[in-house]
Structure formats: structure tokens, C-alpha cells
Amino acid sequence: MRRSPTTRRFTTAITAITALTALLAAACSADPAGQPGPRGGSFSLWDPYPQFDNGSEWTKVIDKCGTAAGVTIQRQAYDTTDLTNKVLLAAQQGTAPNVLVVDNPVVSTLAEAGVLKSTQDTGMDATAAAPNLLAAGQTGGRVYGVPIGANTLALYYNKAVLTAAGVDPASITDWTSLEAALTKVAAAGKKGITFSAIGTEEGTFQFLPWFWGAGAQLTDLSSPGAVAALTQWKSWLDKKYAPNSVIGNTQTTSWQEFATGEYAFAENGTWQLQNAKKAGFDYGVIPIPSRTGGVAPAPTGGEFVTVPSQGDKDAEATAAKIAACLTSADTVLATDTALTYVSAVPSVQQQQIAAQPDLKVWVDAVKSAKSRTGDDLGTRYPRISQPLWTAVQAALTGSKSPQDALTAAQAAAASATK
């Protein structure tokens, strides 16, 4: 008989899933798909990629891995947020998919609910994945699944705007040089930088490179580094280097501002590459700089391939073969190309750069990236993120100073995570 997680675990998971709903939209988006297909004697796989139909390269990779495991795979695709809720419900009912591809911040929540098998249980090898990307799947000293790839944030720039302002993008290596560039852009009569500071997870997601890049940690939201990062953002609004619209900008509307061709910089993600190529002007990409130099850690987006508990060791073993195939070095180049991700495997990242040299900056950004739920934060992360984005909103609107806003945020986070 299938072993079901306890009611208490599921109640805790439901609470965490509710808090994660907005978080899941921060690094990706998709459209809803249909209902689960028949399980029967075939193996089921659920993923958050409804944008890929049955003729896509991604589906071909899945079929190849099913054939290698000697089974037929019935694939179902859902909107990212909807998928998590459906998996939790299916696990309660004993109908979880055999293989689950799920957004990385959710892994710890599902693992703590008892939904997922650890790699120690399934025999999956996660050692080829970069440790900073693997961190999102670690909780309680165990690893739950393998990252299939990653996306993250960097700074897009408009070459014509920087040229008119006399700015060499290669000179931007820290906050001081970025500030100098924005000063030159403004003096040339151009617009500076746009980003998303909306009061949702998207706002936290975009603030984190500056927060982490100043040496701040999510366990102390009111540290001097945190205050320096928020003060930097506020100064850009005060100097009109950034528009007031950032307070309500999503990553999509922020991109739309950049796409007008009027801005020098936009903080945005790997997922905008195709839109950048259609923007109608020459662009480039540089990593987000840390305060004192180097690449700032940006938050990771992307999914893990996991094996839900089936209460059937043979079924779980076959599911692990499928999952291992999807993430193996031999397969993952095709997988990540299909999904437009930077690979989680360093050797495959080099193959991607060889094929597309303009991906190097994204590979560098991913190498420096951090998991939002890492550092053993797990399901506590959403209860820290909300006070943080609230503080960003308060400071940018001028209702509180950066110090006061972050002091209040730390108090709220400490209370919520007791």
C-alpha cells in the first residue's frame, strides 16, 4: 500500500504553497494546460512547460528517455503555480506522477511534506550539478532531485544610449562605476535604469542581487549591507536615474520600458533573450555588479527533476532512470536548449558557450547565483521575502527611510519564522 504523508505535513505544505504562489511567477510564466492523463501501465510526467506542444524538442527528449527506460511516458503540462497545487493534492490522493519537473523554490516544501523521494533513496546522481544550483533541492541534509537548468538576472544595456553618453559597458564592475555610468547617461539627456520593485515576490527577486551583492543575508534584513542596497535603489529614484514606475513594475512591464529604446539599462532575466533580439536596437548584457566589485549573486530560477513517492520501489526505480536521463550530461544539452536554460552542469555550460558565445555572460551569472531557499531557509523563505518586499516599497515610496523600513522587516520576519 502507498505510504501517505501525515495530515500535519500536508497542512504545513498547503500553508507554504499559499505563500509560494506569487514566488513561482518571479522567474517564469506559462499558460494553463489540461487535466492529468491516464496512468495505467505507462509512466506519468508532469512539468510546468505548457508552451511546449507534443512536437517540441522538449517532448522528444522525454520520449527518448522513456524509450531508454523501457516505458511509455504520458506527459502533462501545467502552469507553474497550478502544478504545485495539483501535485500536493495528487499526493494526498495517492495519484502523484511518477516524475515531476517542478520550480526550484517548491522542492523543499514538497520534500518536507513527504511528497518527494531523496536522491539517496532513488540512487539518482546529483554530483554533476553545480553546488549553488543544487542547494535549492537540499533540506534536512538530503537532496531531492536534480536541477535541469537555470535562469537568473543580469543587466541588459542599449548600446546606442551608452555610446551617446560615452559609457563603456566593460567599465562597469561595481556600484561606483555603475553610478558613474548612470550620471553620464543622465547628463546626455537619456534615461538610466529600469527594474521591477513591485510589492510581490518579483520585487524581492529583483532586489536580491543588490542585497546579496552588498554582503547582506536573508537572516538579517536590517544589516548595514541591506540598508546600503536599499539606499542605492532609493537614490536612483531621487536622482531620476530610475523612473517612479519601478514601484509598480513587474518584470514584464519593466522590460516593456526598456524595449522603447529610451533606457540605458534594464535588470531582467534570461527569458527575455528572444524579446531582446526583436527589440529593434543593438543590445548587450553584463552581470549585475557587487557593491565593491565582481559579479553579484542573483537568485536562481529553473526547475528540478524529482521522483514523487509511489510506495512501489520498482516504479520509483524506473522513474529515477527517467529523471536521471533527463538530467544526464549526454541529454541535458538538448534539454536546456529546448528549455532555453543555462545548464546546471558546468561541462555542458561550456558546450553552450561554444555554440552560442553570447551566453557566456549568463553562464557567469548562473555560476554566481544563489537559491532563494538555500542556507537551510526552505519553507521559511516566503515569510522572509514578504517583509523584504514590503520594506522596499516603503523606502521607495518615501514612507520610511531604508533603515527604518528594514528594521521593521527584520522584526516581522523574525516573528513569522519562529
pLDDT by residue (tens digit) across 274-324? Answer: 899 999 999 999 999 999 999 999 999 899 999 999 999 999 999 999 999
CA distances from 390 to 203, 226, 232, 412 (A): 9, 14, 17, 10
Please state the separation of Cα 36 from the chain's center in Å: 26
CB 248 within 8 A of CB 189: no
Nearest to 43 by CA among 323, 315, 321: 315
> Could you tell me which residues are beta bridge partners of residue 143?
138
Per-position DSSP letters for 148-207, written without gaps between them: --BB-EEEEEEHHHHHHHT--GGG--SHHHHHHHHHHHHHTT-EEEE----SSHHHHHHH
pLDDT tier at 27 (50, 70, 90 boundaries)? low
- Of 196, 168, 169, nearest to 285 by C-alpha is 169
Q: Is the pLDDT of residue 4 over 90?
A: no
pLDDT score recorded for residue 105:
87
Question: Locate cell 517612479: which residue?
Answer: 244
Alpha helices, H only, 6-147: 7-20, 57-69, 80-93, 107-112, 119-122, 131-134
Q: Which domains does the chain have, with CATH numbers?
A: 7-150+301-367 (3.40.190.10), 153-298+377-416 (3.40.190.10)
Cell numbers found for residue 220? 538579517
Write down the pTM of the prediction.
0.83
- Specify whether the backbone of 37 is left (phi greater than 0), alpha (psi in -120 to 50) or beta: beta
- Burial class for 399, CB neighbours closer than 10 Å (0-12, 13-18, 19+): exposed
Q: Is 70 exceeded by the pLDDT of residue 17?
A: no
pLDDT value of residue 125: 93
Q: Of the candidates 222, 204, 231, which has an alpha carbon nearest to the alpha carbon of residue 414? A: 222
Q: Residue 20: what pLDDT?
A: 52
Among candidate residues 374, 404, 157, 407, the one with its CA nearest the CA of residue 287: 157
On the question of pLDDT at 28 being above 70, the answer is: no
Band (pLDDT 50/70/90 cuts) for residue 38 is: very low
Point out which residues pair with 150 in neighbouring strands: 342
d(CA 317, CA 119): 11
Average pLDDT, the chain: 89
| Residue 371 banded pLDDT, cuts 50, 70, 90 | very high
Taking the C-alpha atoms of residue 320 and residue 361, their distance in angstroms, rounded to an integer, is 33
Share of the chain above pLDDT 90, in %: 76
